[in-house]
A and B are shown apart, each in its own frame.
Chain A
Amino acid sequence: MSKEWPLWEIFIRGQHGLSHRHVGSLHAPDAEMAIKNARDVYTRRNEGVSIWVVEANNISASSPSEKGPLFEPSESKIYRHPTFFDIPDEVGHM
């Protein structure tokens, strides 16, 4: 059986953020790829600027403190935002 890619915890600090926040995890063979993958997975809506990755094994914790991510809309991929689509009012909430 093949060796599984290690697990990395991802921390992102948004453009106007004060500190890095834990946004989740992903698998990658090493740190450089983890950063690139994090950019693809966790910043698709232009959410973050600074990315930290830490191999999950290297985290010592008493109890985890995880915070929600900062969201900033991406100007160019506006269809990703619900407001891009004109849904008539009669149709109800969507």
Chain B
Amino acid sequence: MYAQMIKSEATQDDPEKLAEFQKKIDDGIKVEPRDWMPEGYRKTLIRQIGQHAHSEIVGQLPEGNWITRAPTLERKMILLAKVQDEAGHGLYLYAAAETLGVSRDELTEMLLDGRMKYSSIFNYPTLNWADIGAVGWLVDGAAIMNQVPLQRTSYGPYSRAMIRICKEESFHQRQGYDIMMKMAQGTEAQKKMAQDALNRLWYPSLMMFGPSDKDSVHSTQNMAWKIKMNTNDELRQKFVDQTVPQAEYLGLTIPDENLTWNEDKGGYDFSDPDWTEFFDVLKGNGPCNADRMEARNKAWDDGAWVRDGLMAHAEKKRAAKTAAE
């Protein structure tokens, strides 16, 4: 998802070293920051981990949109805790990326000027309270699908960040589903909100897994390096199979006339999302791209005096301490 459209980076390293490196990965030994690694491996990881981190940060915004309107004190707290978790996840991931020789500020600049991306899903708006439920249920659900296997990724710091994140993620999906249950079992207006949320967020959630394998950028290298653990279609199928019964339990209708159980394959047949829309969103034409980037740029620009001020103070303290010694 943060790896949507990530190409395997070409590498011009010594074939013997490459083979040794590949054997290490095949044997399940983790690659650590000071180990030799192909330049392509390093570059691909920086992009994937970095975009994963950016996704967490930008992902605060669609949910943050409803914190001030959360309908009870408990929901307010739960949503605040979830958004705080997302910020924390971003931080763990930036920390992992920084072990590869890039700084967090550099990554931030690349996000803000568009050189790096974030998951397409966060370019969609949250329009009613049920969206907050749907985001937890579907978006976090899709993320979990992708993140659980990534716990076994080859790069040590990334793997450990994923383990920590996965421990916290289950609460996210469950709180989202809990909201959906309340809504689906609530008043007529609430049921309408729940169905409306599902209608709008279903296909964008499917898009999170990236284009069909047949249209995907060549990802064989990333699979061999265990940077990518499953194909897009594999994960998307698993997500659909898991989610359909959950929607049925809620009494909600997935907006797909072609959704049918396929006995032979032991899974659901379903309609593809509109891939034109997907590429449009990646290009910057999603409903919220401009808003999201504006918000992040503003936070960064408005915050410059704060970061500089606190840094200056720390330096004054350090200088005073040295002078005293």
Interface size class of chain B, counting residues whose CB lies under 8 Å from the partner chain: 35 or more
The answer to whether B32 and A4 touch across the interface, beta carbons within 8 angstroms, is: no
- Do A79 and B77 touch (CB < 8 A)? yes
| B214 touches A (CB below 8 Å) | no
- Residue in B103, B156, B164, B175 whose beta carbon sits within 8 Å of that of A79 in the complex: B175
Q: Is A17 an interface residue (CB 8 A)?
A: no
Contact residues of A between 31 and 82, Cβ < 8 Å to B: 33, 41, 44-45, 61-64, 66, 68-69, 71, 77, 79-82
B156 partner residues in chain A, CB cutoff 8 A = 64, 66
- For chain A, the bracket of interface size reads 35 or more
B264 proximal to A (CB < 8 A): no
Interface residues of B in 287-311 (CB under 8 A from A): 304, 307-308, 310-311
A91 to B141, CA, bound (A): 13
Chain B residues with CB under 8 Å of A85's CB are 171, 174-175, 177-178
Contact B245 A91 (CB under 8 A): yes
Closest residue to B175 on the A side, CB-wise? A85
- Shortest beta-carbon distance from B68 to chain A in Å: 19
Residues of A within 8 A of B34 (CB): 61-64
Q: Which of A4, A5, A85 has the most CB of B within 10 A?
A: A85
Q: Residues of A contacting B157 with CB < 8 Å?
A: 66
Which residues of chain B are near A81, meaning CB under 8 Å?
171
B69 at the interface (CB under 8 A from A): no
Set B92, B103, B314: member contacting A24, Cβ < 8 A = B92
Question: Which A residues are in CB contact (< 8 Å) with B168?
Answer: 45, 80
B174 touches A5 (CB 8 A): no
State whether B77 touches A94 (Cβ < 8 A).
no
CB contacts (< 8 Å) of B246 on chain A: these are 91-92, 94
A16 within 8 A of B: no
Please tell me if B163 contacts chain A, counting CB pairs below 8 Å: yes
A54 vs B13: C-alpha distance in the bound complex, in angstroms?
34
Do B314 and A29 have beta carbons less than 8 Å apart?
Answer: yes
A92 vs B34: C-alpha distance when bound (angstroms): 42
Q: Is the CB of B174 within 8 A of A64?
A: no
Establish whether residues B245 and A92, one from each chain, have CB atoms under 8 Å apart when the complex forms: yes
Cα A7 to Cα B307 with chains together (Å) = 14
1/0 contact trace for B98-113 toward A, CB 8 Å?
A: 1000011100000000
| Closest A residue to B95 using CB positions | A25
- The minimal Cβ–Cβ distance linking A71 to chain B, given in whole angstroms, is 7
A77–B141 CA distance with the chains assembled, in angstroms: 22
Question: What's the least CB distance linking A58 to chain B, in Å?
Answer: 14
Residues of A within 8 A of B96 (CB): 24
Q: Assess the B308–A94 pair: CB atoms within 8 A.
A: no
B259 within 8 A of A: no
- Please state if B249 and A90 are interface contacts (CB–CB under 8 Å): yes
Q: How far is the CB of B198 from chain A (nearest CB, A)?
A: 15
Is the beta-carbon distance between A71 and B307 smaller than 8 angstroms? no
Q: Is there contact, CB below 8 Å, between A94 and B245?
A: no
Q: Is B173 an interface residue (CB 8 A)?
A: yes
A27 and B164 alpha carbons, distance in the complex (Å): 19
Out of B81, B170, B242, which one reaches A82, CB within 8 Å? B170
Task: Report yes or no: A30 in contact with B177, Cβ–Cβ below 8 A.
Answer: no
Instruction: Indicate whether A2 sits within 8 Å of B77 (C-beta atoms), given known contacts A63-B32, A82-B174.
Output: no
A5 and B88 CA atoms in complex are apart in Å by: 17
- 5 extra interchain contacts, Cβ-Cβ under 8 A, other than A24-B92, A94-B174? A3-B311, A44-B84, A44-B88, A71-B167, A82-B170
Partner-A contacts on B (CB < 8 A): 32-35, 74, 77-78, 81, 84-85, 88, 91-92, 95-96, 98, 103-105, 141, 156-157, 160-161, 163-164, 167-168, 170-171, 173-175, 177-178, 242, 245-246, 249, 304, 307-308, 310-311, 313-314, 317-318
A-B contact pairs, 6 of them (CB 8 A): A7-B104, A29-B313, A30-B314, A30-B317, A44-B88, A71-B167
A-B pairs with lowest CB-CB distance, top 6:
A29-B314, A30-B314, A85-B174, A25-B95, A82-B170, A4-B105
